[in-house]
Structure 1
Amino acid sequence: MIKFKSIRKSMRSILLCGLVLVLSIGLMACGSTSTSNSGTSSKKKTIAFIPPSLVSPFYTQAVTGAKQEAAKEGFNIKVLAPQTEDDFNGLLKIVEDVITQQVDAIAICTTDDKTMAAVVKKANDAKIPVVVFNSLSPIKGADVYAYVGYDQKQAGAQAAEYLGTKLKDKQFNVGVLEGLPGVFTDNRKGGFVNEAKKYSNIKIVATQPADWQREKGMNVATNLYQANKAINMYYGLSDEMAIGAAQAFKSAGVKDGVTIGIDGNPATLDSIAQGETTATIYTDPKQIGKESIIDCSKALKGEKMANKLDQTKTFVVDKSNVSTYKAK
């Protein structure tokens, strides 16, 4: 009898221990679920920031601005880019990948309007909002939340106006260094050409692509000058090409050659301060990157845009005011 009571006591102890274990597991499970739900609700949203490449300092500056704003607003940011600006298939593949990864918003730039339309449509199908940066040119047949950038035709016109007004006492035989074919080249060149018609001291004598690159800008400028020694001014549709043209003048022993670009990159401001490149149209690429993230944030909050064009201002920078812009 005593033995039987002892057995019953042992069984009760085992059952009690088992019950405590089950309750403990249940409480742990509840705690785990609560933590998981909390983690899901506070999960950072991710923005894909996709330049056409990172070769140009303009885009590295835009990335810097985008990262600063993303950190400020509490977003994760994925910066992805093709190796070259004409790798449109590579850019399309990047967009397909980030859509598969289910990013929350996309900020993107490409110089090819057809590629841009294709990638925006893919994002539209996935219901991911898109902000286009460094361009105000509307994308046909696709839904873009906002465009962030400067008026590229106006920037080109500002370069011609600078020659026709501030440097009006000099006659300019101009070589134009184009970028890759597309809307950027069309606008920056078109704005310059149209404005140049207003001034008798500007004559465009040559125009040739240099693909946005400094080395090609130098080589093309060198070849154009060898073919026509009357050239005394190069208008580069980007800063990198303008710096290349300034190097070409220097190598040729031309001391009074004038070079103007578009971007306002730090290296260009240094070159202007040193008296090598003459001027640039300052576009504030860092601010363009910041504004792109701000507009992505608005899209994610469901805010309606009264105006889809988020335009930044441009300014002519030369040696007389370069110190002001270097300090920014």
Structure 2
Amino acid sequence: MAQLPGYGATLDPNGTGPTETQLEFPDNRLLIDLCGQYDANLARVEQQLDVQIVRRGNLLSVMGEAASVARAAEVLQSLYQRLEAGKSIETGDIDGEIRMGGVSDEETPDALDQMELFQSGAVEIKTRKKLVEPRTEAQKAYVRSLFAKELAFGIGPAGTGKTYLAVAVGVNMFIQGHVDRIVLSRPAVEAGERLGFLPGDMKDKVDPYMQPLYDALNDFLPGKMAAKLMEEKRIEIAPLAFMRGRTLSNAFVVLDEAQNATGMQMKMFLTRLGEGSRMVITGDRTQVDLPRGQVSGLSEAERLLKGIDRIGFNYFTAADVVRHPLVARIIEAYERDG
């Protein structure tokens, strides 16, 4: 029988057939957090990996097919190490660990080391309010691209973290002094509805379209700090139409919902890139709200710019959805329907 390092676990060395593994966790307080309220965290690992987990004192016995047991043991060890580092465990962290597993030192790029993204082999984005970690391999590659490339595209279905991670990286680079400001933009296009004339001044009219960007920003910065930075124009949230004629230097620039930009708007936006800036374009090709017959600027940019050095293209699928698990199934159903 082989032994897993650190926790006194035993596995069938043949790696096949039913087996039982015992994991020993020395800190009972952390073990309680690992198990979760009413053992909810263990139940989630059981459900996802088709194993059975039984707690006996400070031991966890994992039973099932050898491959699943080995994977569950890795997940439980990683989650325990997360607790040892002073972090909490949420449902998304469990799902992310099951999807990804560990990262070897060989996979750690120099650009991310310089940005202090990797700690103990894990990708982490520090913001003022929280620590953000990618939860799928595609998200991890996306974050690498955001730091390594001056222009990066994130293309895929809703709920895959394209905008959320882009804003998190923008806040990280801003608070570390790598950029002087953050510019967040999206086309003010209605999603198949006609809302008519909206009341109020220009800000009141465009704010409903920009709300997802405000939501992401407020997740990473304290409310008063975000408000002060927006007042000082160090953080700008504006419709795509307001970008014409500007040169965005030393800025982290995000264009969200880029599938609703026309070809002309996309070209205009891409040519705003100035010295010392990073630009991120996110969108979902299946959710185009442009008038029938009008080509999406996102699809056009993807066709024209692929193959250019220093431009990264990152793709997501339903497997990368980090919202409610039902969202992934909904996206898959629509994709099957064509």
Query: TM-score per shorter chain, which class?
Result: under 0.3
Report the TM-score when normalising by structure 1.
0.27
Higher helix share: 1
Larger radius of gyration: 1
